[in-house]
Amino acid sequence: MTVATTPAEQRVVLRNVSWEAYERLLRDHAEASSPRLFYDRGTLEIMSPSAKHEQLKDAVTMLVAVVAEEFGLNHRSFGSTTFRREDLARGFEPDACFYFANEPRVRGKEEIDLAIDPPPDLVIEIDITRSSIDKMATFAVLEVPEVWRYDGERAQFFSLHGREYVEIAESATLSGLTSKAVEGFLAESERMERLVWLRMLREWARSRRP
């Protein structure tokens, strides 16, 4: 077992965890917002987020929702929903995720089954501390088209090409929104009053509406 603790996040990594044990943990925490579980072929990471982590998650969720609305893009947030596939022995609970192009296929669904349903079009991970699990490999296997990662200072966007991710400067999902812009907005979200920040964000999005 490996334990990493910081003011931002606490991570516990367990090895040789069966799929059945992972499923039991999911059932035990079905109605809880934390901890977040990430499973990769027998390795289980249990992450308990801090207040800072959750504030950043909420800010980026609002950012995506506002920009999508102003850009005229229909979308649906699935938050930290559990996504898993037993046949691939992988599962994850993102900090935030959204359906855009595939939103009609999941509209009204109460549970997502990746064996028949598409993965989110956009997954967002707030990683103040680096995970010891290769999350990007799991996202690639589960065919998540776009992933954003934010470490508290730097934002990175990745687009799936074949079986690998390529870093991109501008979101493929929200064309016109760059990783540098997201860095600035998230930094400002920690300093500014929320209503002022939201007005600024909305004005920016309207000025760049496609």
**Residue listed under structure tokens 């760059």:** 178
Query: Looking at the 3D structure of the chain, how many domains does it have?
Result: 1
Which has the closest alpha carbon to 4: 190, 172, 130?
A: 130
pLDDT at position 49 is 84
159 within domain boundaries: yes
Confidence band, pLDDT 50/70/90 cuts, at residue 7: very low
Q: Considering the chain, what percentage of its residues have pLDDT values greater than 90? A: 80
145 within domain boundaries: yes
pLDDT at position 84 is 96
**Is residue 5 pLDDT above 80, yes or no?**
no
82 within domain boundaries: yes
Q: CA-CA distance, 146 to 143, in Å (whole number)?
A: 9
Q: CA-CA distance, 111 to 135, in Å (whole number)?
A: 22
83-140 pLDDT, tens digit per residue, is 999 999 999 999 999 999 999 999 999 889 999 999 999 999 998 877 778 999 999 9
- Do the Cβ atoms of 50 and 7 come closer than 8 Å? yes
Q: Work out the average pLDDT over 183-187.
A: 97
**Is residue 4 pLDDT above 50, yes or no?**
no
Burial class (CB in 10 A: 0-12, 13-18, 19+), 192: middle
Residue 186 is part of a domain; what is its CATH number?
A: 3.90.1570
Tell me which amino acid residue 83 is: F
101 within domain boundaries: yes
* Mean pLDDT, the chain, integer: 92
9 within domain boundaries: no
18 within domain boundaries: no
198 within domain boundaries: yes
**Is residue 184 pLDDT above 70, yes or no?**
yes
Q: What's the whole-model pTM score?
A: 0.91
pLDDT at position 50 is 83
**Is residue 2 pLDDT above 70, yes or no?**
no
Confidence band, pLDDT 50/70/90 cuts, at residue 8: low
143 within domain boundaries: yes
Range of the domain at 169: 50-207
11-43 pLDDT, tens digit per residue, is 899 999 999 999 999 998 877 667 899 999 999
